């Protein structure tokens, strides 16, 4: 039941991220590029390299997240297996005085899951600032290039 719930939550998160990044971002990029070409073709060409970098960054994050989430699911499975074994064999654990060993085994599985989850969340937390930095660099380049074009036009 825990695995099923976790899989459904992972699928829900993947769907939300895919819809947000996989649909919204390309549409915004294409729409922005079309508006920029209609406004000023020279400025649009200055943004093309940054558009490529942003696209590569998005593909990198999407490709890297799937295996990371897969490992978190495997660690969660391991933790659930240890817990299920402890619950179903509680009489044996008590009879053979193995509660310290089983506690350490659960602790190790829990620490493993915690470490992996933290590393995945740290990686995911870098995505938004990286994309924001690309967008802000793009705005600086457009404002700078547009300003230089306006000064030269006088």
30-83 tens-digit pLDDT: 888 888 889 888 888 888 888 888 889 888 888 888 888 889 888 988 888 888
How does 9-40 read in b/e, with b if 16+ C-beta sit within 10 Å? eeeeeeeeeeeebeeeeeeeeeeeeeebeeee
- Three-state SS at 70: helix
Instruction: Write the CA distances from 146 to 7, 44, 54, 139, 140, integer angstroms.
Output: 49, 10, 21, 10, 10
Pairwise CA distance, residues 80 & 3, whole Å: 8
Query: Domain 2-153 has what CATH class?
Result: mainly alpha
Q: How many other β-carbons are positioned within 10 Å of the β-carbon of residue 79?
A: 19
Closest CA to 50 of 111, 116, 133: 133
Is pTM beyond 0.85? Reply is no
| Confidence at residue 2, expressed as pLDDT on a 0 to 100 scale | 67
Residue 98 above 80 pLDDT? Answer: no
- Three-state SS at 132: helix
Alpha helices by DSSP H, listed for the chain, are 2-17, 25-39, 41-88, 90-95, 99-125, 127-153
Pairwise CA distance, residues 62 & 19, whole Å: 12
Average pLDDT estimate for 123-150: 88
- For 4-8, 125-129, 146-150, which range has the lowest pLDDT when averaged over its residues? 4-8
């Amino acid at each position: 039941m825990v695995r099923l719930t976790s899989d459904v939550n992972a699928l829900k998160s993947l769907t939300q991220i895919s819809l947000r990044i996989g649909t919204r971002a390309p549409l915004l990029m294409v729409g922005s590029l079309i508006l920029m070409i209609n406004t000023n073709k020279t400025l649009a060409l200055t943004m093309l390299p940054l558009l490529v970098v942003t696209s590569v960054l998005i593909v990198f994050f999407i490709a890297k997240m799937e295996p990371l989430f897969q490992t978190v699911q495997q660690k969660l499975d391991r933790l659930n297996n240890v817990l299920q074994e402890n619950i179903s064999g509680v009489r044996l654990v008590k009879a053979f005085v193995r509660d310290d060993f089983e506690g350490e085994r659960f602790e190790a599985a829990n620490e493993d899951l915690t470490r992996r989850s933290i590393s995945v969340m740290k990686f995911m937390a870098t995505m938004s600032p990286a994309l924001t930095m690309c967008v802000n660099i793009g705005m600086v380049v457009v404002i700078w290039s547009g300003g230089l074009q306006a000064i030269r036009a006088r």
